[in-house]
Amino acid sequence: MHRFTRNAAAALAAVVAFSVSAPAATAAPKTDHVKGSTAHGKSAKAAKSDKGSRQLTAAQRKVTKEAARKDAYLARLLVSKGLAGLDDAVETALRANIDADRTALASVVTAAATATGDDLQALARQLRGVRPEGYNTVVNQARQVARLQAATVANAAELAAVPDADATLVETNAAAVILLDALVAELVTFDASTTRAELRAAQRDLSAAWKMVGAVEDALEVEETEPATEPETEPETEEPVEEGPVTEEPVEEAPVEEGPVTEEPADPAV
């Protein structure tokens, strides 16, 4: 049972016990001896007093009005898209917590109608500790946890496909899975009476999970972008060519045909 539910039930029980143990009212005088008596044996003044006792005091109205406002906030949460978009198990658990909070608020309204003094102040203090808006933080955290859990599954598959995966990355991913599972188990217990300190502690765990998952994803991306190295091959060696003695082949010259030699006449002397 939630803290607020227990406190509301205890306050209602205290009010009921006080009503039962209260001393009985003094007997009313006989009808025929009371001036201005009514047909039902009560004076007009007494009837007016009974009517006023059925109306709430200013302090009682303040408590019941505040309880009604917070109950309306919880009712809107039940039909919100954020809650409906969560994992089924988480959504079911949070819906049960909201229903329990609304039941506790209804008990406060019932108790406030007859509570006075210290009992009424105790109910007012309990209401101040009810923060239905805290569910918005819980829903947001649960949505982020679901995203991180999906990322850890994808990272685990990629690491399994690498023959010589880095052991540090495998351990980091496994640690993130454990942290996220613990965080889910904690979030499903949160309700309207969850303190800000508890929400901040859950946020710190969530931030740590983001860092772990991000580190694994970054490392996997670096491995994918590194160029593949070709296997080393031995340099090709040319076989030596055996050189023999160089022989020069004779060059055949074409025969020159000789004709009659003619002498050109000399120029006559002038």
Place of tokens 């979030």: 187
Residues sharing a CB contact under 8 Å with residue 176, sequence separation 6 or more, in sequence order? 148, 152, 209, 212, 213, 216
Contact 201, 137 (CB under 8 A): no
- Bridge partners (DSSP) of residue 37 are 43
Nearest CA to 200 out of 137, 129, 131, 135 is that of 137
Q: What is the pTM of this model?
A: 0.65
Whole-Å CA distances, 254 to 257, 258, 260: 9, 13, 20
Contact 57, 115 (CB under 8 A): no
pLDDT tens by residue, the chain, 270 residues = 455 555 554 554 444 444 444 444 444 444 444 444 444 444 445 444 444 445 889 999 999 999 999 999 999 999 999 999 999 999 999 999 999 999 999 999 999 999 999 999 999 999 999 999 999 999 999 999 999 999 999 999 999 998 888 999 999 999 999 999 999 999 999 999 999 999 999 999 999 999 999 999 999 988 766 554 555 555 555 555 455 555 555 545 555 455 554 455 545 444
- The first and second tokens of residue 27, run together, are 């007997």
Integer Rg of the chain from CA? 49
